[in-house]
Amino acid sequence: MAKANGNKPRVLSGIQPSGNLTIGNYLGALKQWVAVQREYDCFYCVVDLHAITVAQAPAELRRKTRESAAIYIAAGIDPEISTIFVQSHIPAHSELAWILTCMAPLGWLQRMTQFKDKTAKQMQDSIGAGLLNYPSLMAADILLYQAELVPVGDDQNQHLEFTRDLAQRFNHLYGETFTMPSVMNPQAGARIMGLDRPTAKMSKSEESDNHAIFLLDDVGRARKKIGRAVTDSFREIRFSEDKERAGINNLLTIYQAITDEPRASIEAHFSDKGYGDLKREVADCVADTLAPLQARYQELMEEAGYLDSVLKIGREKAGEIAEATLKKAQENIGFLAPS
Ligand code: TRP
């Protein structure tokens, strides 16, 4: 069967099913995934192998993996156009990750900011080695599909650089095997910050109740969280890199990422308005984003068998490509082909 997107450049991206997806995941990644799906041959993965780099409760992990896939679709990823799959369904990810792990310099891995952040407050003996090798697995995800573009939030740029470095190293040592991928950051919304702490990226695993807006938050609850968002005492609504103004900047960034309006016209729009107006308008556009997504999500969860059939088709399509690349890498590195 000919694929609709057969000759287009390939895109691959993924999100961990390690928490409830937030508006930050939507504006920083999903929205862009949707926007590019007609232009590229897109593969969108639920990265459960990455999720287990920190402890996960089995039943929760299973539930969140399905939930994440349903959210991809509810956010507008069309399974007729894009390929949606679960990372652990395709053994080639783990297999290539091992090969890449063997080629990844320890120093590079130890210098990754995400690794440093995630392990900063822990004792050596309580840090799983998977956290260190996380970038090699991510490189495998991307390289298996010969992806040319990887749409991610800008906090992932270092991992993309690492992927490129590894690909180059492999190609240099063992011959042309992998396509060099490039990063694709969204124009606005690459980094949505926590509402309660606008100097830290909005995280799906943060405990505090007013930190993140979850995509499945009841709309009234989402409005309340925005109402409680940290602001400042400058009484001035403009984009700013200033730490003291991070709260207002974050609300404006959310507004911009949703409306796609230029910054200047957003600032003009709010020039004679107050923080209360800003919060209300941000809450309105967030509500307009969440409501249709949640309606579609409910339908998907009630449609018995549909989601599983999407993941099955995804597994078949993705598996075929991943297997072919893995085989090439195994041959090039010198593994004896099984007879
Ligand atoms: N590391 C990414 C994140 O935390 C998730 C991820 C895993 C990913 N594999 C990927 C993103 C491959 C893009 C491509 O957001």
Any ligand 1 atom below 6 A from CB of 42: no
Q: Are residues 152 and 239 in the same domain?
A: no
Which residues touch 235 (CB under 8 Å, ≥6 apart)? 274, 275
Contact status, residue 235 vs residue 295, Cβ threshold 8 Å: no
Tokens of 61: 């992990």
Which residue range is the domain that position 115 belongs to?
10-185+305-333
Per the structure block, which two tokens stand in for 6? 């057969």
Domain CATH for 261: 1.10.240.10
Residue 95: Cβ-neighbour burial (10 angstroms; 0-12, 13-18, 19+): middle
Together in a domain, 287 and 320: no
Given a cut of 70, the residues of the chain with pLDDT beneath it are 1-6, 189-190
Domains held by the chain: number: 2
Residue 54 alpha carbon to ligand 1 centre in Å: 15
Inside any domain, residue 204: no
Distance between Cα 247 and ligand 1 center (Å): 27
Work out whether the CA dihedral 195, 198, 204, 208 comes out positive or negative.
negative
**Residue 146 forms part of a structural domain:** yes
DSSP 89: G
> Residue 93 domain-assigned?
yes
Structural domain includes residue 14: yes
Residues 129 and 263 in one domain: no
166 and 23 belong to one structural domain: yes
Long-range contacts made by residues 198-204, C-beta under 8 angstroms, separation at least 24? 198/229, 198/230, 198/246, 198/247, 198/249, 198/250, 199/243, 199/246, 201/24, 201/155, 202/22, 202/23, 202/24, 203/19, 203/22, 203/24, 204/18, 204/19, 204/20, 204/21, 204/22, 204/24, 204/25
Give pLDDT, residue 1.
Answer: 40
Q: Domain with 109 in it: what CATH number?
A: 3.40.50.620
Predicted model pTM:
0.94
Question: If you ran DSSP here, which 8-state letter would residue 245 be given?
Answer: G
Q: Where are the alpha helices (DSSP H) in 13-57?
A: 23-25, 31-36, 48-51
Q: Does residue 232 share a domain with residue 150?
A: no
Task: Identify whether 273 is a catalytic site residue.
Answer: no
Q: Which atom of ligand 1 is nearest to the CA of 138?
A: 9
Q: Where are the beta strands (DSSP E) in the chain?
A: 10-15, 41-46, 83-86, 149-151, 182-184
**What pLDDT is recorded for position 189?**
67
Answer whether residue 206 is part of any domain. Answer: no
Tell me, yes or no, whether 238 lies in a domain: yes
pLDDT of residue 123: 86
